[in-house]
Amino acid sequence: MKINHLFTFILLFAFICCNAQKKVFDIGIEAQIYPTGYIPGFYAEKSFSQRDLGTVRFGYQIIDHRDQGKHDSEKGSGYGGTLGYKHYFKKYFVGPSLSLRTDFWANKLDWTTNLEAGGEIKGKTDILVLQPTLEFGWAFAIGDNFALTPTVAYGFEKNIKTKGEPTGEGAIMLAGLKAAYRIW
């Protein structure tokens, strides 16, 4: 009989502890801008503790490197996605957070190089870009089921596969805004 009471107590304690772990699933839209482009996208974040979440994003990158790349003009776009980890410094997914994110982008760029002799060379380049970033955000709860999060991120773009002439890559700083519907 004592074993049944102990077993019941352990089950009740485990149930209370599991339900005390407030968890969340965010589904939302995100926009990031940077000096040579912008990235609109859709994202989902799933918590696995009271402060930690996994992130997935699918987006579209619009690029205009102007003369900041390897050519005098580099314009293009591409689809990509993000995998990431986010940690909130406060419980229950509000306030400051820090994220480690890794993006992969399959971009197509049209470029132009103006020659000193007066002519120009044009071409196309397909690139696969690896873009790891460190992102700081501040989540504001709007009622129980909505959140708005402004963000800033810093990282770098590395062209890991290039078909055509090399194009711009290097350090990147992004500013963003996320709007999410929260499912508790």
Contacting residues for 14 by C-beta, under 8 A, at least 6 apart: none
Judge whether 54 and 85 are in contact, CB under 8 Å: yes
DSSP state, residue 67: T
Q: Which two tokens stand for residue 125?
A: 């380049």
Burial class (CB in 10 A: 0-12, 13-18, 19+), 128: middle
Domain 22-183, architecture per CATH: Beta Barrel (2.40)
Identify the pLDDT of residue 20: 47
Q: How many CA atoms lie within 13 A of 41 on its CB side?
A: 24
Each residue's pLDDT tens digit, 135-163? 999 999 999 899 999 999 999 999 999 99
Q: Phi, psi (5° rounding) for residue 143?
A: 70, -160
Does the pLDDT of residue 83 top 90, yes or no?
yes
Choose among 45, 48, 5: nearest CA to 25. 45
User: In angstroms, rounded to a whole number, what is the distance separating the alpha carbons of residues 158 and 116?
Assistant: 29
The residue extents of the domains of the chain are: 22-183
pTM of the model: 0.82
